[in-house]
Structure 1
Amino acid sequence: MTIEEKLQHLMQYSMEEARGKYESVINEYTKTMEEIFQEYQENRKRQENLEIKTETEHLIRENNKRFSEEQVKIRRTISRMQEELKEKLFVEMKDRLARFAESAEYQRLLVRQLKEAIAFARGEELILYIDPSDAERRTSLEVEAGAPITVSSYSFMGGTRAVIPGRNILIDNSFETKLAEAREKFQLRGGTAYE
């Protein structure tokens, strides 16, 4: 059973239990009021109806208050668990990116990104950057891309960046930026909002 299924089960259980208690309290109260109602004289009927209504509304408000408090607790739990899962997911993504950076496919990705930046610049002055962790690849990348490459003074987790100074353009294909964009857009879907 997944966490989402467990949370759904917990929410359903809480709602059923709250409804059961609500119905039990209302049924018991109604029965008591009916017995009292029969004992009173006709002139007390209006007063009794007012008391029933007032007490019923109070019980409903109290029950709704408890139910709302439970909902808030459940939502906080879900939110906390979603953040924990999101954090674990992005830690795993960083690990996978680190493993990918050791592959031949990563070298091909860098060459492709560099060539795309060169093509985009259309002959204008262009500064190509690679991550400091890729410094040993610089010479081979320069040969494959056909352009000089600068090793960045700070890490951006891999990938490339390029600057076209004449047009004030930054082409950011760094893993750091891509991961930050993915984190910002990421939403864990599940729970009652997606039923």
Structure 2
Amino acid sequence: MEQARAEGNAIIDSHREALDKVFEDHKAEALRQSETRIKAETTNAKLALNQALAKSQLEIKRKQGKIQQELKDKIFEEAQDLIHAFMKTEAYDDFLIRCIRSAVRFAGTDPVTVYINLSDEKKKTALEDATQVHLSVSAEDFIGGVRSVIRSRNILIDNSFQTQLKDQYDKFIFEGGDGIG
């Protein structure tokens, strides 16, 4: 009996050891699978977060660009108002005279055609008297200033406010702190 009991206990111990080993293997496999699942879910969560972040950054940049464009347009509208106010001063007349004289000096002996803006047509006689240059009134509105053409050299001297405003508008970029610009 004792021998049978000892054999039975040995079989039970052996079976228990086998079950413990199977249990430990199963536990280790379950742990590996859960770690793999956690890594995969973490990766998916990071990817989703990065996508949401990129989408929101794109939306912020889009809104920022729209606001900057609105501000830029407003700035240049104000600049145009200031130009129109300047055009009513004596300093503007002096500016026109300097531009006309500069174009004539640059042309030298070559014939030059000097155009003033249609809005300055009333000043034509006074400008011609001041510069001794025959002026033409442009059919195209270029806001103000002077355009001069030296046809023999295919040269356009463009001192028009329209061109200068457009050049500045095209170059204008907002710059500032916090990565704006």
| TM-score over 0.5 (shorter chain) | yes
Q: Distance in 2 between the 1:79 and 1:191 partners?
A: 16
The structure 2 residue matched to 1:46, chosen from 10, 18, 32, is 32
- Matched to 1:46, the amino acid is R
Matched, 1:177 2:172: no
Structure 2: state its 5+ residue gaps: 1-25
The structure showing larger relative contact order (alpha-carbon pairs under 8 Å, at least 6 residues apart) is 1
Q: Name the structure 2 match of 1:80.
A: 66
The structure 2 residue matched to 1:93, chosen from 65, 79, 100, is 79
Q: CA deviation at 1:54?
A: 0.1
Q: CA deviation at 1:95?
A: 0.6
Q: Name the structure 2 match of 1:27.
A: none
Matched, 1:111 2:90: no
Runs of 4+ in 1 over 3 A off after TM superposition: none
Q: Name the structure 2 match of 1:68.
A: 54
Q: CA deviation at 1:172?
A: 0.4
- Matched to 1:170, the amino acid is L
**Superposition pairs of residues 142-153 of structure 1, within 5 angstroms:** 142-153=128-139
Q: Name the structure 1 match of 2:111.
A: 125
> What secondary structure is seen at the aligned counterpart in 1 of 2:176?
coil
Q: Distance in 1 between the 2:37 and 2:66 partners?
A: 43
How big is each residue's C-alpha offset from its partner over 1:68-109, in whole Å with a ceiling of 9 and x where there is no partner?
A: 111111111100000000000011011110010000000000
Q: CA deviation at 1:128?
A: 0.5
Q: Name the structure 1 match of 2:123.
A: 137
Structure 1: state its 5+ residue gaps: 1-39
- How many residues align structurally? 156
> What secondary structure is seen at the aligned counterpart in 2 of 1:170?
strand
Q: Equivalent pairs: percent with the same residue? A: 35
**Superposition pairs of residues 15-34 of structure 1, within 5 angstroms:** none
Q: Distance in 2 between the 1:172 and 1:194 partners?
A: 33
TM-score, normalised by the number of residues in structure 2 = 0.82
> What secondary structure is seen at the aligned counterpart in 1 of 2:179?
helix
TM-score, normalised by the number of residues in structure 1 = 0.77
**Superposition pairs of residues 158-169 of structure 1, within 5 angstroms:** 158-169=144-155
Q: Distance in 1 between the 2:62 and 2:177 partners?
A: 13
- Matched to 1:182, the amino acid is Q
Greater C-alpha radius of gyration? 2
Q: Distance in 2 between the 1:190 and 1:72 partners?
A: 19
Is contact 2:174–2:180 with CA below 8 Å preserved after alignment? no
